[in-house]
Amino acid sequence: MTTVQPEEIGADDVTAVMDGPETIYIATVVNPTGGNQIMTAHRTSDGANAQIEEMARLWSTDRDALDADVLPLPLMP
């Protein structure tokens, strides 16, 4: 077992302990033309959804027509 000294704990560490583990959001999108899967990581689900919207705009298609998903991934402290 490792003992952490108070001076080793940063502000982010205290926040993580009090709020629980941070969650990142993985946006996965399949390119409708090439068929390749693109994955991007985001700090918020809004950011992940915005990325999917941007890809739909870039590929001139509707977001609902894309094979896309946002997956929450909690990070371990």
How far is the CA of 13 from the CAs of 20, 27, 41, in angstroms?
Answer: 10, 26, 21
Q: How far apart are the first and last CA of the chain?
A: 15
pTM of the model: 0.69
* Residues 54 and 7: beta-carbon distance below 8 Å: no
* pLDDT tens string 7-32: 544 445 555 455 667 999 999 999 99
- Judged against a pLDDT cut of 50, whether residue 1 lies above it is answered with no
Tokens for 2? 């490792």
Give which of 34, 74, 26 is closest to 52, Cα–Cα: 26
